[in-house]
């Protein structure tokens, strides 16, 4: 595929910041991960996988580990251990080809269920950022933690920025002259700076910053055992369903033959290698989420140029600003990140449009319900069992 760096690629490159940044902020501030290592991992991963796969591809935090880790304020050692364990598992699945066996037992209805459920979760998280109820905002005790003004009269500033930039996004979503993602991110940063977030820039110390190797030391046996049962086992089904199978399917839907390198084995191996590097430099566990791909595509990404743009940006932030890299990103209001997340969730949820069979729709709806009540890992397992029973004629709907 030809690489392009036009305005649409720039806009598409920032489409997934709504997913990435809130979780990255939380893992740096609450779990104590290295900002340099985290953003360097994200940047290098974007560049390398974009160059290899030759189509846009997302880099996201592993949701179960990130959300659970932040909620319980787990130590960097536990987070690092979870990344190492997942890296080993993904490399084994990819190198041996066992992932193909897993992929064969996952039907299209379950893939669409994963995509709809993930899309609705993104919609929900986006809305929570706009209304100010996201866990990160609650934890910081402010709807816009890095702005000096928290409300205009009775209206929270996150709602103000969310409504303003939501309307802008609606009007510009199909514009090639003024790409929505680029306009929203640039103008959103100016908006944040105007309302006090500019103070974050005074804390930056430019220079050359390189990550430490194992900055928190090698994880202990207790770290590994806790990470395995509390983080890794719940994460595996979601990673297989969303970051491997659904991601591969969505990439083919968007890019057709151009996405021929996006295979289940390749995705496992690239995530495995990325998590080895991330664990070594004190970063967070990362994956290729289908929701992230939908976000990039929704805002204009059509070539690997979008990966090179956002990857180069994060590498430059990490190397030139080190721990100060997070302060630059604080310019973006939570409401703006919520808007990006909301529209990317919509894009992913709409992938179920090609489903017509009643039994398939039944499975998809069941998956959505279980995901909202529990989590996607449980929904994935139940859907596989339900699909088997329906196909064998044991039950009918």
Assign 93 a pLDDT band (cuts: 50, 70, 90).
Answer: very high
- Asked whether the CA dihedral 278, 283, 284, 289 is positive or negative, the reply is negative
pLDDT at 387: 86
Higher pLDDT, 106 or 267: 267
Hey, which residues does 61 pair with through a beta bridge?
286
User: Does residue 394 surpass a pLDDT of 70?
Assistant: no
Does any domain span residue 372?
no
Residues 6+ apart with CB under 8 A from 264: 94, 99, 100, 102, 103, 244, 245, 248
Give the pLDDT confidence of 161-205 residue by residue, as tens digits: 999 999 999 999 888 888 888 899 999 999 999 999 999 999 888
- Longest Cα–Cα distance of the chain, Å, equals 66
pLDDT at 203: 86
pLDDT at 43: 97
- The Cα–Cα gap between 331 and 318 comes to 16
pLDDT at 252: 95
- The first and second tokens of residue 345, run together, are 């969730």
| C-alpha 67, offset from chain centre | 12
Phi, psi of 287 (to 5 degrees): -150, 180
| C-alpha 180, offset from chain centre | 19
pLDDT at 266: 96
Does any domain span residue 363?
no
Give the pLDDT confidence of 342-376 residue by residue, as tens digits: 887 888 788 888 888 888 999 999 999 998 888 77
pLDDT at 231: 86
What DSSP state is assigned to residue 227? H
Does any domain span residue 188?
yes
User: Does residue 293 surpass a pLDDT of 80?
Assistant: yes
Assign 103 a pLDDT band (cuts: 50, 70, 90).
Answer: confident
Assign 224 a pLDDT band (cuts: 50, 70, 90).
Answer: very high
User: Does residue 157 surpass a pLDDT of 80?
Assistant: yes
Higher pLDDT, 31 or 308: 308
Does any domain span residue 356?
no
Hey, which residues does 60 pair with through a beta bridge?
287
Hey, is 383 helix, strand or coil? helix
Residues 6+ apart with CB under 8 A from 372: 117, 120, 121
Hey, is 156 helix, strand or coil? strand
Hey, is 55 helix, strand or coil? coil
| CA-wise closest residue to 313 among 92, 47, 106, 98 | 47
User: Does residue 1 surpass a pLDDT of 80?
Assistant: no
Does any domain span residue 291?
yes
User: Does residue 318 surpass a pLDDT of 90?
Assistant: yes
pLDDT at 143: 94
- The Cα–Cα gap between 288 and 167 comes to 29
Give the pLDDT confidence of 50-91 residue by residue, as tens digits: 999 999 999 999 887 887 787 677 899 999 999 999 999 999
- The Cα–Cα gap between 18 and 239 comes to 19
Does any domain span residue 148?
yes
- The first and second tokens of residue 21, run together, are 């940044």
Contact 241, 380 (CB under 8 A): yes
Assign 30 a pLDDT band (cuts: 50, 70, 90).
Answer: confident
pLDDT at 134: 83
Assign 236 a pLDDT band (cuts: 50, 70, 90).
Answer: confident
Does any domain span residue 88?
yes
Measured CA distances, 302 to 42, 199, 217, 307 (Å): 20, 36, 40, 10
The domain total for the chain is 1
Give the pLDDT confidence of 35-52 residue by residue, as tens digits: 999 999 999 999 999 999
User: Does residue 20 surpass a pLDDT of 80?
Assistant: yes
pLDDT at 361: 92
Residues 6+ apart with CB under 8 A from 393: none
Does any domain span residue 368?
no
Residue span of the structural domain in which 105 resides: 7-351
Kindly state the percentage of the chain with pLDDT values over 90. 57
Higher pLDDT, 73 or 243: 243
pLDDT at 132: 92
User: Does residue 320 surpass a pLDDT of 90?
Assistant: yes
């Amino acid at each position: 595929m030809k690489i392009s760096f036009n305005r649409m690629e720039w806009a598409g490159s920032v489409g997934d910041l709504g997913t990435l940044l809130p979780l990255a902020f939380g893992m740096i501030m609450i779990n104590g991960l290295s900002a340099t290592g985290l953003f360097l991992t994200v940047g290098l991963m974007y560049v390398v996988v974009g160059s290899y796969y030759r189509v846009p591809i997302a880099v996201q935090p592993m949701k179960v580990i990130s959300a659970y880790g932040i909620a319980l304020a787990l130590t960097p050692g536990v987070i690092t251990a979870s990344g190492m364990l997942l890296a080993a598992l993904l490399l084994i699945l990819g190198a041996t080809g066992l992932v193909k066996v897993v992929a064969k037992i996952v039907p299209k209805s379950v893939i669409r269920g994963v995509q709809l459920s993930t899309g609705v979760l993104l919609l929900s998280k986006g809305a929570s950022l706009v209304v100010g109820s996201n866990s990160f905002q609650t934890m910081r005790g402010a709807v816009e933690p890095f702005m000096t003004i928290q409300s205009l009269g009775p209206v929270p500033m996150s709602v103000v920025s969310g409504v303003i930039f939501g309307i802008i996004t609606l009007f510009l979503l199909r514009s090639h002259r003024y790409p929505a993602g680029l306009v929203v991110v640039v103008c959103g940063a100016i908006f944040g700076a105007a309302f006090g977030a500019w103070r974050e820039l005074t804390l930056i110390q430019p220079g050359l910053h390189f990550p430490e190797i194992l900055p928190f030391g090698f994880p202990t046996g207790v770290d590994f055992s806790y990470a395995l049962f509390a983080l890794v086992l719940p994460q595996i089904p979601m990673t297989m369903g969303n970051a491997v199978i659904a991601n591969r399917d969505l990439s083919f839907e968007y890019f057709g033959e151009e996405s021929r390198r996006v295979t289940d084995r390749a995705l496992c191996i690239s995530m495995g290698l990325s998590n080895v590097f991330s664990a070594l430099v004190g970063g967070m566990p990362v994956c290729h989420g289908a929701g992230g791909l939908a976000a990039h595509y929704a805002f204009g990404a059509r070539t690997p140029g979008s990966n090179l743009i956002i990857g180069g940006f994060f590498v430059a932030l990490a190397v030139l600003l080190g721990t100060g890299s997070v302060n630059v990103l604080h310019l973006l209001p939570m409401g703006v990140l919520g808007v990006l997340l909301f529209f990317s969730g919509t894009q992913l949820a709409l992938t179920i449009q090609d489903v017509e069979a009643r039994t398939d729709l039944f499975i998809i709806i069941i998956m959505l319900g279980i995901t909202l009540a529990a989590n996607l890992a449980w929904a994935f397992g139940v859907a596989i069992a339900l699909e088997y029973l329906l196909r064998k004629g044991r039950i009918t709907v």
